[in-house]
């Protein structure tokens, strides 16, 4: 009888430990992929960073591709969570400020984005479609916010919103790269200063 009582508790404990270990492996993989890129990273290196062995890592992830997919999915979930915090009435300044504050608080996010954006240019790279979709989604979000600004009379006349959305996105990507070299750069204030140049 005692065995039947204890078994569910042990199962829950094993599940919790397994999920915790899985999360630690994804954390380690995120760091390594950000530092070295996908091609140069080995599962053994990730296992060492996670404080485990190759066999345990293989129990959770069948391949480097499978682990990489989990890293990208977590990154996508973070983006979805941030977008849900913004309403359809958010200004472009609010969108940019929120994103810059969030990213500046987590260097790994910016480093992962920067590394993968450069490396995934190759069409056969596992993250090629993800990065492309990620960039296009952000451009579209910025364009929608700029259209609201334009309709409200808060942008100078004659500005081409689709072009401006891509230029602003390029500014974000470029500033984040510069910030990796010089963390003293206040990305939020720089981008807000750029937006002020577009006001009437």
135 compared with 18, residue with greater pLDDT: 135
Tell me the pLDDT band of 13, cut-offs 50, 70 and 90: low
Tell me the pLDDT band of 187, cut-offs 50, 70 and 90: very high
Which tens digits make up the pLDDT trace of 138-167? 899 889 889 989 998 989 989 999 999 999
Which tens digits make up the pLDDT trace of 88-132? 667 888 888 877 888 888 888 888 889 888 989 999 998 899 889
Question: Do residues 97 and 82 make contact, with C-beta atoms less than 8 angstroms apart?
Answer: no
Angle (CA) 132 130 188, round 5°: 70
173 compared with 84, residue with greater pLDDT: 173
pLDDT of 170 > 70? The answer is yes
Question: How far apart, in whole angstroms, are the C-alpha atoms of residue 143 and residue 163?
Answer: 9
Taking Cα atoms as reference points, which of 176, 39, 16 lies closest to residue 103?
Answer: 176
**Which residues lie below 8 Å from residue 182, measured CB to CB, with a gap of 6+?**
none
pLDDT of 20 > 80? The answer is yes
pLDDT of 15 > 70? The answer is no
Question: How far apart, in whole angstroms, are the C-alpha atoms of residue 3 and residue 128?
Answer: 51
Provide the pLDDT for residue 130.
87
188 compared with 11, residue with greater pLDDT: 188
Provide the pLDDT for residue 10.
58
Average pLDDT over residues 169-188: 93
pLDDT of 1 > 50? The answer is no
pLDDT of 14 > 90? The answer is no
């Amino acid at each position: 009888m005692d065995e039947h009582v204890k078994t569910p508790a042990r199962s829950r404990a094993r599940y919790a430990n397994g999920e915790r270990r899985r999360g630690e492996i994804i954390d380690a993989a995120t760091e390594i992929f950000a530092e070295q890129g996908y091609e140069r990273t080995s599962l053994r290196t990730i296992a060492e960073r996670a404080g485990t062995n190759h066999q345990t890592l293989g129990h959770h992830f069948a391949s480097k591709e499978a682990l990489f997919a989990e890293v990208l999915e977590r990154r996508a979930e973070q983006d979805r969570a941030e977008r849900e915090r913004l309403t359809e009435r958010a200004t472009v300044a609010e969108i940019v400020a929120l994103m810059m504050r969030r990213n500046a608080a987590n260097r790994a996010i910016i480093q992962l984005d920067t590394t993968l954006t450069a490396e995934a240019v190759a069409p056969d790279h596992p993250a090629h479609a993800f990065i492309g979709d990620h960039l296009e989604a952000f451009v579209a979000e910025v364009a929608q916010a700029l259209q609201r600004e334009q309709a409200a009379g808060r942008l100078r006349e004659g500005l081409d919103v689709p072009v401006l959305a891509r230029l602003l996105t390029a500014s974000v990507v470029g500033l984040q790269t510069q910030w990796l070299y010089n963390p003293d750069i206040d990305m939020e204030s720089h981008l807000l200063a750029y937006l002020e140049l577009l006001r009437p």
